[in-house]
């Protein structure tokens, strides 16, 4: 458990990137990620990481072809939100997971806006790291959670 979804996102992104730095120094996200995902990635840039931002279409859907191009053997973590709380887009997490896993990489999913509204199945959807927010599930403020798949190193 964490103090917030922001803390969980920071732990997932920085933890996966820095723990697996031997694999490379690239991180990948969509251009519409929450600031709590983009800021730790921008912070990693100060440590020599490359940030690859994936474009979205007019409805906010991640461009899967651009994602395939962006994830490389040097990518340590890819982060895509499940559902966007501002525009309502629901990303195809299972398809995204296949793209990321086909290259042997970790997928982080920010599900703060999705949990409680959409099915979340980390095994079926191929999610390695999952962020949740208590207050978005009608729980108390000041509590979040980070699911870490067994074997994933942070």
Task: Show the beta-strand stretches assigned E in the chain.
Answer: 26-30, 50-54, 75-81, 106-110, 129-133, 144-148
**What pTM did the predictor assign?**
0.95
Give the chain's mean pLDDT. Answer: 95
Is the predicted pLDDT of residue 136 greater than 70, yes or no?
no
pLDDT at 142: 78
CA nearest neighbour of 109 among 121, 18, 73: 121
Band (pLDDT 50/70/90 cuts) for residue 76 is: very high
pLDDT at 34: 96
The fold for domain 5-148 equals: 3.40.640
CA distance 134 to 123: 21
């Amino acid at each position: 458990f964490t103090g917030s979804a922001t803390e969980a996102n920071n732990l997932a992104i920085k933890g996966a990137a820095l723990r697996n730095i031997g694999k490379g120094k690239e991180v990948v996200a969509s251009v519409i990620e929450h600031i709590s995902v983009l800021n730790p990635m921008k912070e990693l840039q100060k440590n020599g990481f490359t940030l690859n931002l994936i474009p979205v279409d007019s409805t906010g859907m991640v461009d899967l072809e651009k994602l395939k191009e962006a994830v490389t053997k040097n990518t340590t973590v890819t982060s895509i939100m499940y559902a966007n709380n501002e525009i309502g887009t629901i990303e195809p997490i299972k398809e995204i997971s296949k793209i990321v896993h086909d290259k042997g990489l970790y997928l982080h999913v920010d599900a703060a806006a999705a949990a409680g509204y959409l099915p979340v199945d980390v095994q079926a959807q191929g999610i390695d790291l999952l962020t949740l927010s208590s207050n978005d599930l009608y729980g108390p403020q000041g509590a979040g959670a980070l699911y870490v798949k067994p074997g994933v190193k942070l």
